[in-house]
Amino acid sequence: MKFTFFICIVILSTTAFAQPPVKPNTWVFLLAGQSNMAGRGIIEPQDTISSERIFTINAAGQLTRAKEPLHFYEPTRTGLDCGMSFAFELLKHIPDSVQLLIVPTAIGGSSLRQWTGDSLYRGVHLLSNFREKAEWAKQYGTIKGILWHQGESDANDKDTPFFHQRLTNLFRMFRGITGDPNTPILLGELGSYSETQDAWNKINTMIRDFPESDPQTAVVTTADLKDNGDKVHFNAAGQRELGKRYAQVFLTIQKQK
């Protein structure tokens, strides 16, 4: 009887931990930007489902099986982001041998000026944290792309005129960190529900035009997605759809290559 009880404990303890992904077959994606990438949607049971093929990093800097919420930097603001939806959609279209490592680095309210200046914001040095997480991820796999959503904090008369140049500079920094000048970066549009929509539309116009100056970028559309009631953040359904669209855009880029 004692022997049987011991065996049960061993089985439970060994299955509680994710097995490390196999480096040659692991695709790494970094999530960066501000709150709509960090996620403010309501997490439901369907969002907490994990997969043996999807990994992430936890607040202690450890590799773990991924599930929502992925972002952990703002404990009082955590919510559903688009990362797991992106990963699950991608798994439908890539070889079964490939595993995914989804790495969160987005901080709500952060501006481009703060990112390029590596500002300490909400307790995080934005660019240094991105670099740290990217270097950590490289030990497990190959960085295949960056999912970027930001611009709400730059939608004002002071920052909008510098948006394109700051974004250009930041993406150059990102690719310096990844070590690949051709790392794909996917840009999500801002929502179409803002109380200051004219200001957001100016940012969206620059986002849509950005691939003309940077062919290694692509745009993810959001015009039909809904907010969670605050006129700022995508709701849970919007986040799930946003993740699928990021995946579809990435797959299109892969086919073109």
The pLDDT tens digits for 164-173 are 999 999 999 9
Structural domains of the chain in order of their starting residue, each with its CATH number: 20-256 (3.40.50.1110)
Question: Residue 157 to residues 149, 152, 191, 195, 199: CA-CA distances in angstroms?
Answer: 20, 12, 19, 16, 8
Neighbouring residues of 68: CB distance < 8 A, sequence distance ≥ 6: 39, 43, 47, 48, 80, 81, 83, 84
pLDDT tens column, 150-163? 999 999 999 999 99
Note the pTM of the prediction, 2 decimals: 0.92
Full DSSP string of 88-153: HHHHTTS-TT-EEEEEE---TT--HHHHHTT-EETTEEHHHHHHHHHHHHHTTSEEEEEEEE--GG
pLDDT in tens, 93-144: 999 999 999 999 999 999 999 999 999 999 999 999 999 999 999 999 999 9
pLDDT category at 18 given cuts 50, 70, 90 is: low
Give how far the C-alpha of residue 253 lies from the chain's centroid of Cα atoms, to the nearest Å. Answer: 17
